[in-house]
Amino acid sequence: MGLLRETANKYRVISVVGLAKNTGKTTTLDAMIAEAPGEGIRLGITSTGRDGETIDIVTGTAKPRIFLPEGAVTTIPTELYALADAGLEILRMTDYRTALGRVMICGVVEAGYVQVAGPVSTAGQTGVCADMLALGADMILIDGAVDRRSVAAPHASDAVILATGAALSGRMSEVAAETAHAVEIYSLPELRDGTALAEITKHAEEKNILFVGGENRILDLKTGLGAGRLIGDEIGEDCRYIYMPGALTKSLAEGVPAKLREKAAFVVTDPTKIFIDRLSWRKLRASGLRVFVLSGINIVAVTVNPYSPAGFSFDSAELIKAVGAAVGNIPVTNVKSGY
């Protein structure tokens, strides 16, 4: 399955998000970049971290490099510009800054290897993607750092590819289960209750927790961090939704009594705001937890890396089969083996 061919006519901006380090995120990106010349697509490439170096500066493990074809557009901080093997033309100096300097948007005039980095903020990523499209890119690929899930948010990209693999666990069943958990979270339903949506929209600028239903009431808290018990004490029997402007965590969800969780559903802006581990999520769902999002995430594919830096590997076909059975109708592929 050619991921670029499958997605290019449907989406302008795609984020590639790894569920852990060494799950094949950059390898997936490289495979899509390699397709571009044959498909006649001018790609824009950016990253929320630093990608394309030969050694991971955090783990010390080898990393795949990023080879960009002539015509591509990319983001490079000033301190990485001289490290590129590719011939680069500076198209625009942006106002975004990183630890490696001011972010430049460069055109590739001679194919070669490049270290890519871009803004770490979602707003910054949205800005440079818009700039690259304005400078002639047909489609943008974002290499999302593992610790910055916000790049998968709907306002940051049109669609997401998840990269998973043996780095998650030494048990294939656990890899499949953790991947399915991520897919379930990212695929939560959007809120369709027009009355509740109108109430949330009316108070959105206040960025406070909001109880919707019966007497709509604002709870004077900007975040739910550590507020689970308070929310549980304050919530009324007639509340139908609890809108969270920030993160929904395990402790917060557990703070609401089970009998009230069955009546009042949580609402978050998008799935990247949910931070609940798989086992806790399963228990909470069994006890009545319901969650809606204002904007959903479109997962278009899952890629697998059967190799772990710990020194073991899975059979690629078996891993694809296990993950595919766990995630349902989402296409699953190993970009290195081609199936």
Q: What is the CATH number of the domain that holds 69?
A: 3.40.50
Q: Has residue 117 been placed in a domain?
A: yes
Flag whether 142 is in a domain.
yes
Structure tokens at 93: 């100096």
Beta carbons of 55 and 61 less than 8 angstroms apart: yes
Flag whether 67 is in a domain. Answer: yes
Task: State the amino acid at position 131 in one-letter form.
Answer: D
* CA separation, residue 246 to residues 85, 276, 323 (Å): 42, 14, 30
Asked whether residue 206 falls in the same domain as residue 181, the answer is no
Q: Is residue 75 domain-shared with residue 167, that is, in the same domain?
A: yes
Of 255, 264, 207, 259, nearest to 230 by C-alpha is: 255
- The reply to whether 133 and 270 lie within a common domain is no
Burial of 111: CB neighbours in 10 Å, binned 0-12, 13-18, 19+? middle
In a domain, 339, yes or no: no
Residue 338 lies in a domain: no
Cβ neighbours of 150 (radius 10 Å): 19
Q: What is the pLDDT of residue 236?
A: 79
Whether 274 and 329 share a structural domain: no
Report how far Cα 287 is from the mean position of its chain's Cα atoms.
28
Q: Alpha-carbon distance 39 to 313, whole Å?
A: 32
38 and 148 in a single domain? The answer is: yes
Say whether both 117 and 255 belong to one domain: no
Query: Which residue is listed with tokens 């690929």?
Result: 141
Q: Are residues 31 and 45 in the same domain?
A: yes
What is the residue-level pLDDT of the chain in tens, covering all 339 positions? 588 888 888 999 999 999 988 899 999 999 999 999 999 999 999 988 765 455 454 555 556 789 999 999 999 999 999 999 999 999 999 999 888 999 999 999 999 999 999 988 888 889 999 999 999 999 999 987 655 565 666 777 899 999 999 999 999 999 999 999 999 999 999 999 999 999 999 887 777 888 888 778 887 766 666 677 788 778 878 889 999 888 899 988 988 888 888 889 999 999 999 999 999 999 999 999 999 999 999 999 999 999 998 889 999 999 999 999 999 999 999 998 766
Q: Is 326 left (phi over 0), alpha (psi -120 to 50) or beta?
A: alpha
d(CA 195, CA 267): 14
Provide the domain limits for residue 160.
3-186+297-333
Locate 262 and state its tokens.
């069955």
Q: Do residue 173 and residue 208 come from a single domain?
A: no
Which is nearest to 135 in space by CA: 112, 158, 105, 96? 105
Q: Are residues 179 and 203 in the same domain?
A: no
228 and 270, same structural domain? yes
- Give pLDDT, residue 156: 76
177 closest CA partner among 3, 319, 312:
319
The enclosing domain of 212 has a CATH number of 3.40.140
Give the chain's domain count: 2
Q: How many CA atoms lie within 13 A of 301 on its CB side?
A: 24
Q: Which residue has the tokens 């890396």?
A: 305
Rounded CA gap, 109 and 69, in Å? 8
CA torsion angle 173 174 175 180 (round to 10) = 90
Mode of pairing for the β-strands spanning 73-77 and 159-165:
unpaired
In this structure, are 163 and 45 located in the same domain?
Answer: yes
The verdict on 91 and 13 lying in the same domain is: yes
Phi, then psi, of 326 in degrees rounded to 5:
-80, -30
Q: Which two tokens stand for residue 327?
A: 């995630």
- Residue 18 DSSP label: E
CA separation, residue 49 to residues 66, 149, 259, 298 (Å): 13, 12, 43, 22
Residue 223's pLDDT is 62
Q: What is the DSSP string of 208-258?
A: -EEEESSS-EEES-S--TT-HHHHHHH--TT--EEEESS-EEHHHHHHS-H
Is 62 inside any structural domain? yes
Residue 155 lies in a domain: yes
